[in-house]
């Protein structure tokens, strides 16, 4: 039997889907030993202190596990030593490269697979929402409503505007699809562009990583989706903001470290950027004294744009597909490249 341990909360009916994959699986799920979710699809959960007996029971499950669904967030420093038989871990997050490197999990021999693609739709809808709210001047409407002021104004249209996607992968493909539905022109950048045809990807232009400033110069909206790697840390610096089209909007659904926040604030304060919508921050939670909180041209999302009502269902579908592959000895989907960090 292949011992599977589910390490973060899932709905009971989804656990049964995992169990139904193959009779060779023995799936352990003890929600009484796991942190309770604070919201739908919360995989870290509320702080948990187990009793000695509960901790002993959990340690036994870890010791016998060959496959883990998610990290043991109750003991991120010690779970590897307690789980010597683990060969594969399916994460509930797409961006685990930095975590795996920082914790030196890449030295364990464990295969990690990410949740890449699971969050594409909610993130694409978030990006669309930001662009629509900006072009339709939703902020002005709310401001006037608060004042009970009925003053007509003119709005813009997304049709004909240019969206630049920095980091064109699964999420970028979904974002681009919705943007094109509104008649937008979509351009993008990608680390490896060899052999790729922009038109075949539905793009007006495709740039390599060395063409960032050219990409930014032509965009009304810039969406960051690139993974956080040593090459992309601080990617959006003073020079990058200077290259952007005056009055453009920045949308960051990547990682906070991709943006140099002092340069972002300078661009906002100078009026070069019209708005910044930030789902992520360099330090999370965003410190209470950060000037970003109160900036009139900033929208703060608490790393929630990706957390959708169907997340757990999509995660379990991916996990089940990978379990079948694992049992058949086939390559796993979304295997983390620990060198590239995605």
For the annotated catalytic residues, the residue numbers are 255, 284, 303
**Which helix (H) or strand (E) element contains residue 187?**
strand 185-189
Q: Is the peptide bond before 86 cis (omega within 30 degrees of 0)?
A: no
Residue 283 CB-half CA count within 13 A:
8
Are the C-beta atoms of 120 and 169 separated by less than 8 Å? no
Structure token pair of residue 80: 């590897």
With a CB cutoff of 8 Å and minimum separation 6, the contacts of 250 are 222, 224, 236, 244, 259, 264, 273, 275, 276, 277
CA of residue 213 relative to chain centroid, distance: 24
Structure token pair of residue 183: 């008649």
Are the C-beta atoms of 189 and 207 separated by less than 8 Å? yes
Give 332's DSSP letter: P
Helix (H, G, I), strand (E, B) or coil at 200: helix
Place of tokens 């330090």: 283
């Amino acid at each position: 039997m292949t011992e599977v341990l589910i390490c973060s909360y899932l709905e009971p009916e989804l656990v049964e889907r995992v169990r139904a994959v193959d009779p060779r699986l023995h799936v352990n799920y003890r929600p009484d030993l796991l942190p309770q979710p604070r919201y739908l699809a919360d995989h870290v959960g509320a702080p948990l202190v187990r009793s000695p007996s509960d901790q002993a029971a959990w340690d036994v499950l870890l010791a016998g596990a060959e496959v883990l669904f998610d990290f043991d967030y109750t003991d991120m420093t010690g779970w590897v030593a307690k789980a010597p038989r683990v060969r594969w871990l399916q994460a509930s997050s797409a961006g685990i490269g930095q975590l795996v490197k920082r914790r030196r999990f890449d030295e364990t021999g464990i295969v990690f697979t990410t949740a890449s693609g699971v969050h594409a739709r909610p993130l694409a809808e978030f990006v669309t929402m930001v662009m629509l709210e900006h072009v339709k001047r939703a902020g002005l409407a709310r401001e006037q409503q608060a004042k009970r002021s009925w003053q007509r104004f003119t709005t813009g249209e997304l049709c004909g505007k240019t969206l630049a996607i920095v980091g064109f992968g699964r999420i970028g493909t979904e974002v681009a699809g919705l943007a094109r539905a509104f008649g937008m022109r979509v351009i993008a950048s990608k680390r490896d562009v060899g052999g790729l045809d922009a038109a075949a990807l539905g793009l007006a232009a495709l740039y390599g990583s060395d063409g960032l400033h050219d990409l930014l110069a032509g965009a009304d909206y810039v969406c960051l989706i690139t993974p956080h790697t040593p090459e992309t840390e601080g990617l959006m610096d003073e020079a990058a903001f200077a290259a952007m089209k005056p009055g453009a909007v920045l949308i960051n659904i990547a990682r906070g470290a991709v943006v140099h926040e002092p340069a972002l604030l300078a661009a906002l304060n100078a009026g070069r950027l019209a708005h910044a919508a930030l789902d992520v921050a360099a330090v999370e939670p965003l410190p209470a004294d950060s000037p970003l909180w109160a900036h009139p041209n900033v929208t703060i999302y608490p790393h929630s744009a990706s957390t959708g009502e169907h997340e757990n269902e999509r995660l379990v579908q991916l996990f089940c597909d990978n379990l079948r592959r694992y049992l058949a000895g086939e390559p796993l989907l979304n295997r983390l490249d620990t060198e590239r960090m995605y």
